[in-house]
A and B are shown apart, each in its own frame.
Chain A
C-alpha cells in the first residue's frame, strides 16, 4: 500500500519507532520501577549463578548421568507450552473473527516472544559448553538436520520467535506511523503462526517421545498432551495478565477476551486431565517394568519417593482448577480473585506436570533400572528464577510498548 512511497522514510522512522518504544517502555509509576528493579535483581542473581556454573562445571547442579536433564529442561518444556498457548487468543481473533479478542491479541503474541526468549535461555543454561553454541548454527557449525529432533526444535522455536516479532513489530510500527496495518503484511504470517504454534510443541514432544529407551516418554499421546496442557497454561497466564493490565493501566475491552479464554480453559483442562488419565490407565493396568517410572512418580519405588509430593500436588491443583473452571460463576466480576486463584492453580499444576512430573520420571528408573533421585540444587533454582525474572521483564516491557495500541481499539 504505502511501502513504495514511504520507503526512504522507514530508514529514519524505524529507529525513531524503536527509540520511542524503548522510552515508553521505561516510563512508569513507582510501582513499575520497583517491579523492574526487583526483576533485575533476581535476574542478576541468576546470571551470577549461571556464570558460576559455566566456570565450575555443571557439578553445581544436582543432575547426574542417570538423571541427565533436570529443572532447566523441565522449564524449557513448560515455556514452549506457554509460547504455544498464546495461539488460543490468535485462533478466536483471526479464525473466528472475534473483534474483541482481535483488539488485544497482541498480548498473546508478546507472551509468545517472552516465552521463546526464556526457552532459548533455558536451553543455553542446560548446555555443558555454551561457548560452543555456534556449532548449532546452520552453515557455520554442523547442523544434524533433519535427523536430530533438537535441530527441528531450534528451527521451529527461532522461527516462531521471528514470526511473532514480525507480527507484533509490524502492527506496533504501523500504529506508530499512524497508518492502518496492511493485512497483506501480517495476516498470512498470523495464519502461519497458528500452525507454527502447534508445531513448536509437537516438535518439543517429539524430542522425548521418539526415544525408545525411555518408556515413560515413548508414547504417542505425548504431543497431544503437551498441546492440551499448553492450552491450559497459556490462557491461564494471559487471563491473569489481562486482569493486571486492566487494573494497572485502565485498558478496557478485556472482559470479553477473559471470558473467552476462561471458556477455552474449561475445555482444555478437562482434555488434559483425560489424557493424563488415559496414560495412567495404560501404565498401571498393563503393569510390568515399563510402568516403573509411573509407579515411582505416583507411589515411589523401592522406598524412593522424591517426586510423589510433587505429582500429587499437581493432580490436586489441576483437578481443583478444573472444577472451579466448570462453575459458571467464576466469570462474574465478584469472583475475580477466585478466577485468578484457579488460573494460578492450573498454571502451577501444569508446570509441575510437565516439568518435575514428566521430564524427571523419564530418567527414573534409569535405563539400567538404577533409581537415582533428583532434587534441583540451589544453583539450579537461582538460574531458573533468574530466567523467569528476565522473561517477565521482557513481557512487561513488551506490554508497555503495546499499551497505546491496547488503549485505542482499532474501531
Chain B
C-alpha cells in the first residue's frame, strides 16, 4: 500500500512540476482537453510544450490531471448595503468554532450545512476535513493536504482505484494516447464523485440506434 500511495504522490508531484512549466500562472485552471486541435487551450498547451526549453530533445507531452480550484468558498447569504454579495473562506467561521469530531451527518447540526446529504461510508466530517486548518484537508496521519490535492486524500482508502487510475484504468481521459504527439488530460476523483456521496449517479439513456424492426418502445421513422 505505501508503494501505491507513493506512486500516486510522485506522479502528482511530477505532473504539478510539469504543469508549472508548461502552463501560465493560473495552474488551477480547468483545462478540459479539447479533442479539436484548434481549441485554444489545447493549442496553447501544445505550443508551450514543444517550445519548453527544459526538454528540447524529447517531444513528450504531459499528462495533466484536472484539479479543483482550491478550498471551497461559502456564498454569503445576504448582500451589503451597496448590493455586493461575496464569499468567505471556510476558516471564517471554523477558526472560531470548536470542531465536533464525532459528527457524521447534517441532522445533528443546529446551523449551517443543513440538508446536506452524506453517503460515504460511516466516516466523520473530520475524517477528511482538517480541524486545525478549515481551508485544507487532512490525511489520517495528520498531514495537511490542500484541496487541490484531494486525490492524495482519496487514495489513502481507495488504493485499488488509485492504482487503476495511475494506469489509466479508472477515470475518464481526454486528448492523446500517444504522448509524443499531444497531451492528455485526466479527470480528478471529484470530477465524477461527489466526496460527500461518491456513488456514480444514475443516468438516463437518451441515444439508441434506431434499427428498423428492432424497436419495441418507439416507432420507426426510417423507411
* Residues of A bordering B, CB below 8 Å: 59, 62, 64-66, 370-374
Contacts and interface: CB of A to CB of B under 8 A. Distances in A.
Contacts of A64: 211-214
A372 B220 CA distance: 13
Which 10 residue pairs are nearest across A and B when measured between Cβ atoms?
A372-B214, A372-B213, A59-B223, A64-B212, A370-B214, A373-B213, A64-B211, A64-B213, A372-B211, A66-B214
Interface string B189-223: 00000000000000000000001111000000011
B211 A66 contact: yes
Contacts of B222: 59
Interface of B: 211-214, 222-223
A49 to B, nearest CB: 16
Given A372-B211, A372-B213, 8 more contacts: A59-B222, A62-B212, A64-B211, A64-B213, A64-B214, A65-B211, A370-B211, A373-B213
Contacts of B213: 62, 64, 372-374
A35 to B, nearest CB: 36
A47 to B, nearest CB: 22
Contacts of A59: 222-223
A55 to B, nearest CB: 15
B216 to A, nearest CB: 10
Contacts of B214: 64, 66, 370-372
A370 B211 CA distance: 11
A73 to B, nearest CB: 18
A372 B214 CA distance: 5
Contacts of B223: 59
A237 B212 CA distance: 37
A373 B214 CA distance: 8
Query: Which of B212, B213, B222, B223 has the most chain A CB within a 10 Å cutoff?
Result: B213
20 contacts: A59-B222, A59-B223, A62-B212, A62-B213, A64-B211, A64-B212, A64-B213, A64-B214, A65-B211, A66-B211, A66-B214, A370-B211, A370-B214, A371-B214, A372-B211, A372-B212, A372-B213, A372-B214, A373-B213, A374-B213
